[in-house]
């Protein structure tokens, strides 16, 4: 089964009578779409669902962006999305100036779990002064981040997962990666939600490295302007010092990251808000420790490293 098929089954929408185009329905995540917290949906997959819901409404209205024009998806993750439970979805078009915008709500109106939107994005600009081709050509000491068994992004045993473990050093987090077969699209290009899942994962690790603490993604903004072909390797990259504190206590970090072709052309960029808290450690550290070498834990979370 591919992720395209999974999302087609998970997101069930229908038109509803209204003055402006609207869709309503449900989103039901399979167990394989889980985050590092058992029973909850992966933030990147949730953001991909927001993008898919918005795209379906655009298809109904006939609005089409020019091929290759950037599209930006934002998801405010207010509460965890439960697995195996139909969650109400509402999708509405705001066609006001200067351009259209699709609003997406997951959860009941009185208590939304996620508020999201899809809108035209800005062309991706790579960081000034960074030559990605030259950077990749240099040899550098690499250490793998820890990982889990069943997480959609890093889970080594998740059959529908990316099974993606990033490398890091004192300056960067990165991976040259060939997406697995479930992420291949029927049109010859990767599943449209791939950037959202992969960029959430690297953004989470950029935040964790800066905070030296576990936590959760609370907001994602992903801009996609191109898709890689099935079977093509892609490059995920983020600079550690680019993750900036969003509060004075250093608990919340905003981390930019990039998805590129192997040749260095930008495909997507993500801005992930990471909220650090030791209250998440009892749920995350034991499975991370069980599935990773002690050294991998010690380099990022020294306070939780096995003695």
Q: Residue 212 in contact with residue 281, Cβ under 8 Å?
A: no
Please write the tens of the pLDDT for every residue from 38-86: 899 999 999 999 999 999 999 998 887 777 789 999 999 999 999 999 9
User: Cβ atoms within 10 A of the Cβ of 96, count?
Assistant: 8
Peptide bond into 98 cis (omega under 30): yes
φ, ψ of residue 208 in degrees (nearest 5):
-65, -40
* C-alpha to C-alpha distance for 193 and 185, rounded to whole angstroms: 10
* C-alpha to C-alpha distance for 196 and 95, rounded to whole angstroms: 25
pLDDT of residue 137: 57
Ranges of each domain in the chain: 3-304
pLDDT band at 94 (very low <50, low <70, confident <90, very high): confident
* Assigned architecture for domain 3-304: Beta Barrel (2.40)
Please write the tens of the pLDDT for every residue from 22-40: 999 999 999 999 999 989 9
Q: 205-239: b or e for each residue (b if 16 or more CB lie within 10 Å)?
A: bbbbbbbebbbbbbbbbbbbbbbbebeeebbbbbb
The DSSP letter of residue 40 is: B
Spatial CB neighbours of 305, under 8 Å, sequence gap ≥ 6: 294, 297, 298
pLDDT of residue 6: 98
Q: Pick from 111, 112, 110, 106: which is nearest to 49 by CA? A: 106
Spatial CB neighbours of 125, under 8 Å, sequence gap ≥ 6: none
Contacts 24+ apart (CB under 8 A), 108-114: 111/79, 112/78, 113/77, 113/78, 113/79, 113/80, 113/81, 113/87, 114/46, 114/50, 114/75, 114/76, 114/77, 114/78, 114/79, 114/81
- Beta-bridged to residue 244, according to DSSP, are 254
Please write the tens of the pLDDT for every residue from 224-279: 999 999 999 999 999 999 999 998 888 999 999 999 999 889 999 999 999 999 99
Nearest-5° Cα angle at 177, 205 to 74: 50
């Amino acid at each position: 089964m591919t992720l395209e098929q999974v999302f087609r089954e998970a997101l069930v929408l229908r038109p509803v009578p209204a003055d402006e185009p609207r869709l309503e329905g449900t989103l039901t995540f399979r167990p394989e779409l889980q985050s590092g917290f058992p029973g909850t949906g992966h933030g990147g997959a949730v953001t991909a669902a927001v993008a898919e819901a918005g795209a379906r409404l655009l298809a109904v209205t006939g609005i089409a962006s020019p091929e290759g024009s950037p599209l930006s998806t934002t998801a405010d993750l207010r509460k965890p999305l439960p697995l195996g439970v139909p969650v109400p979805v509402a999708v509405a078009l705001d066609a006001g100036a200067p351009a259209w915008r699709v609003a997406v709500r997951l959860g009941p109106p009185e208590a939304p779990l996620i508020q999201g939107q899809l809108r035209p994005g800005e062309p991706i600009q790579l960081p000034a002064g960074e030559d990605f081709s030259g950077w990749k050509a240099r040899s550098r000491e690499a250490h793998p981040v820890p990982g889990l068994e069943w997480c959609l992004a890093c889970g080594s045993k998740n059959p529908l997962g990316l099974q993606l473990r990033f490398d890091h050093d004192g300056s960067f987090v990165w991976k040259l990666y060939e997406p697995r077969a479930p992420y291949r699209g029927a049109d010859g290009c990767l599943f449209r939600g791939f950037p959202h899942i992969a960029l959430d994962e690297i953004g989470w690790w950029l935040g964790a490295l800066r905070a030296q603490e576990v936590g959760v993604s609370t907001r994602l903004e992903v801009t996609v302007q191109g898709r890689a072909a099935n079977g093509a390797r892609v490059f995920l990259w983020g600079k550690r010092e680019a993750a900036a504190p969003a509060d004075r206590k250093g608990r919340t970090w905003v981390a930019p990251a990039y998805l590129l072709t192997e040749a260095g052309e930008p495909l997507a960029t993500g801005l992930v808000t990471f909220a650090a808290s030791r209250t998440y450690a009892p749920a995350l550290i034991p499975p991370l420790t069980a599935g990773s070498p002690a050294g991998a834990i010690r380099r990022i979370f020294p306070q939780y490293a096995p003695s």
